[in-house]
Amino acid sequence: MAQHGKKYLEAAKKITANRDYPLTEAIKALKEASFVKFNETVELHARLGIDPRQSDQQVRTTVVLPAGLGKTVRVLVFAEGEAAKFAQDAGADFIAGDEMIAKIRTEEWTEFDVSIAVPDMMRKVSPLGKVLGRKGLMPNPKTGTVVPQEEIGRAVREARAGRVEFRNDKTGNLHIVLGKIQFTEDQILQNLSAVLDAIRRAKPTGVKGIYVRRLVLTSTMGPAIRLDTNAAMNVGTAEV
């Protein structure tokens, strides 16, 4: 069992164990329990009632966080020719043609946070799945990161604004970044509400019984706070 330091134990005393917190109270408690000097990342963890072995029970979607991510997002666009010009005009940090694709393949270079591709490039990008896939950087039409060249600008803007992708892991859980601890309580609530709505909308048709079993809010170093899952998933989240 991990041994926690004195500051963590003091922070944990501010959280009532085994209590299901309403969203606004949970966010307030999360900020009050933060004890480190750096700007922690805030995350939502969800235990789902899915069978991740079944193809019709996979949860994968994207959401644009209203308050953003609180960090600079580096965007790479796989494009050539006219599409590369669209990417340049959109302000992409990197425009990947053959040379950069080779660098990703041979050096496993992934110094970017989001990758976008035009359909014509996917025949060159697909072999990079081994490198990009395990880091969640592979462009995919289902997550809106494979787009026609005229939509590159929108895709780049959304990525910069706080567009995040999430999918269940092998144990059927979700782990989703919500922003930073130095966000205001209202900013965290806005992002949390958007994520909860996205989770509801992404419910697989094959799920039987309870879809979301538990929701936990936490920060990088802080204690976990259990949310009132039933209320969060069944009531308008802005009112919870």
Alpha helices in 3-121 (DSSP H): 6-12, 23-32, 82-90, 98-107
Q: Round the average pLDDT of the chain to a whole number and report it.
A: 91
Q: What is the pLDDT of residues 172-230, one digit of tens each?
A: 999 999 999 999 999 999 999 999 999 999 999 989 899 999 999 999 988 899 999 99
Condensed to tens digits (0 to 9), the pLDDT of residues 18-42 reads 899 999 999 999 999 888 889 999 9
The domain 6-69+163-239: what is its CATH number?
3.30.190.20
Look-up of token digits 């782990």: 175
pLDDT of amino acid 237: 39
Residue 49 CA, chain-centre distance (Å), reads 20
Enumerate the domain spans of the chain: 6-69+163-239, 75-161
For residue 2, name the pLDDT band (cuts at 50, 70, 90). low
pLDDT digits (tens, 9 = 90+) for 105-126: 999 999 999 999 999 999 999 9
| DSSP code, position 171 | T
For position 34, what pLDDT does the model report?
A: 87
C-alpha 174/C-alpha 228 separation (Å) is 17
Q: From CA 80, how far away is CA 85, in angstroms rounded? A: 8
pTM here?
0.78
Residues 203 and 49 sit within 8 Å (Cβ to Cβ) = no
* Segment 135-187, tens digit of pLDDT: 889 999 988 899 999 999 999 999 988 888 899 999 999 999 999 999 999 99
Residue 3 in this model has a pLDDT that exceeds 80: no
Domain 75-161 = CATH 3.40.50.790? yes
- Number of neighbouring beta carbons within 10 Å of residue 232: 25
Q: Is 17 exposed, middle or buried (0-12, 13-18, 19+ CB in 10 A)?
A: exposed
pLDDT band with cut points at 50, 70 and 90 for residue 238: very low
Sign of CA dihedral 103, 104, 106, 108: positive
